[in-house]
């Protein structure tokens, strides 16, 4: 797991507290202080929970941000205000075709998978799943395995990247899938995304807790067709992201034995 690997690497660089070696450091004769043996970095972040609200991040953060996904993510390309962010998407993307479908706004044949494999941006946001929403529950077992392979490829190239998984927000409506089936299918997707995030030490965003109305669906004024963001919705989405940032220094602490 990338967090564990990073912490181990960092711990190896720390040769004990205050620059001491990792070997036992005996206390002076007659001292009542216990000996200190080693220091390590411990990550206290609760990966089973959605990213909590935080102070808004500064604009320079987007110099290192990549937003990738389907046409919902494309709203940031169309209406986003952070021009230093990189936004890549595929309209009507099926995750199983991420390696063969050319990314929108590219004419060189590059796929979204290639972009993710090669990026050195350190804050990567992923939003997939709405185009597969009508499938049966068993379908999503293979779908989450495909998602896992995408994450693994990213981390193999960019092991220190922070990956944010964006849960599938509840659309106001979607053709061919009525309630209560729509909510049930969303649960199939999102429960698997949460489990993947926890198991891989990834962050996840639950935008239903912030962009939804009293009925638990995306606010009408945020979407043009019940699903895709309007300019107002894209700006609200941007604001949500900006105020849900994990600052590692808050959760990663040095512990000395």
Residue 65 confidence (pLDDT)? 98
- Taking alpha carbons only, the member of 242, 255, 234, 245 closest to residue 74 is 234
pLDDT of residue 4: 46
Burial of 232: CB neighbours in 10 Å, binned 0-12, 13-18, 19+: middle
pLDDT in tens, the chain (257 residues): 445 445 444 444 443 444 333 334 444 545 566 555 689 999 999 999 999 999 999 999 999 999 999 999 999 999 999 999 999 999 999 999 999 999 999 989 999 999 999 999 999 999 999 999 999 999 999 999 999 999 999 999 999 999 999 999 999 889 889 999 999 999 999 999 999 999 999 999 999 999 999 999 999 999 999 999 999 999 999 999 999 999 999 999 999 87
Q: What is the pLDDT of residue 2?
A: 47
| Residue recorded with tokens 């990314």 | 103
Identify the pLDDT of residue 257. Answer: 74
pLDDT of residue 35: 58
Distances (CA, A) of 218 to 120, 126, 155: 32, 19, 31
DSSP the chain: -HHHHHHHHHHHH--SGGG--SS-BPPPTT--SPPB--EEEEE---TTSPPPP-PPPPGGGGGGEEEEESHHHHHHHHH-S-TTSEEEE-TT--GGGTTTSBPTT-SS--BHHHHHHH---SEEEEE--GGGTTS-TTHHHHHHHHHHHHHHHHHHH-TT-EEEEEP----S--TT--TTHHHHHHHHHHHHHHHHHHHHT-EEE-THHHHB-TTSSB-GGGBSSSSSBPHHHHHHHHHHHHT----HHHHEEEEE-
DSSP summary character for residue 255? E
pLDDT at 182: 96
pLDDT for the residue 172: 87
pLDDT of the residue at 173: 85
């Amino acid at each position: 797991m990338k967090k564990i690997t990073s912490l181990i690497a960092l711990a190896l660089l720390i040769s004990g507290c205050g620059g001491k070696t990792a070997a036992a450091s005996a206390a002076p004769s007659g001292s009542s202080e216990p000996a200190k043996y080693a220091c390590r970095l411990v990550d206290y972040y609760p990966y089973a929970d959605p990213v909590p609200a935080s102070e808004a991040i500064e604009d320079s953060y987007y110099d290192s941000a990549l937003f990738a996904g389907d046409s919902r993510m494309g709203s940031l390309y169309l209406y986003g205000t952070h021009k230093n962010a990189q936004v890549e998407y595929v309209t009507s993307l099926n995750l199983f075709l991420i390696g063969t479908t050319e990314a929108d706004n590219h004419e060189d044949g590059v796929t979204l998978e290639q972009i993710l494999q090669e990026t050195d941006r350190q804050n990567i946001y992923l939003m997939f799943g709405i185009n597969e929403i009508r499938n049966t529950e068993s379908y999503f077992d293979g779908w989450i395995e495909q998602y896992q392979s995408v994450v693994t490829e990213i981390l193999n190239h960019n092991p220190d990247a922070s990956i944010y998984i964006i849960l599938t927000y509840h659309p106001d409506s979607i053709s061919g899938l009525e309630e209560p089936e729509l909510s049930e299918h969303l649960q199939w997707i999102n429960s698997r995304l949460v489990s993947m995030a926890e198991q891989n030490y990834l962050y996840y965003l639950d935008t239903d807790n912030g962009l939804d109305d009293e009925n638990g669906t995306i606010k009408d004024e945020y979407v043009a067709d019940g699903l895709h963001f309007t300019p107002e919705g894209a700006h609200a989405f941007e604001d949500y992201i900006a105020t849900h940032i994990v600052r590692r220094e808050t959760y990663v602490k040095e512990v000395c034995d």
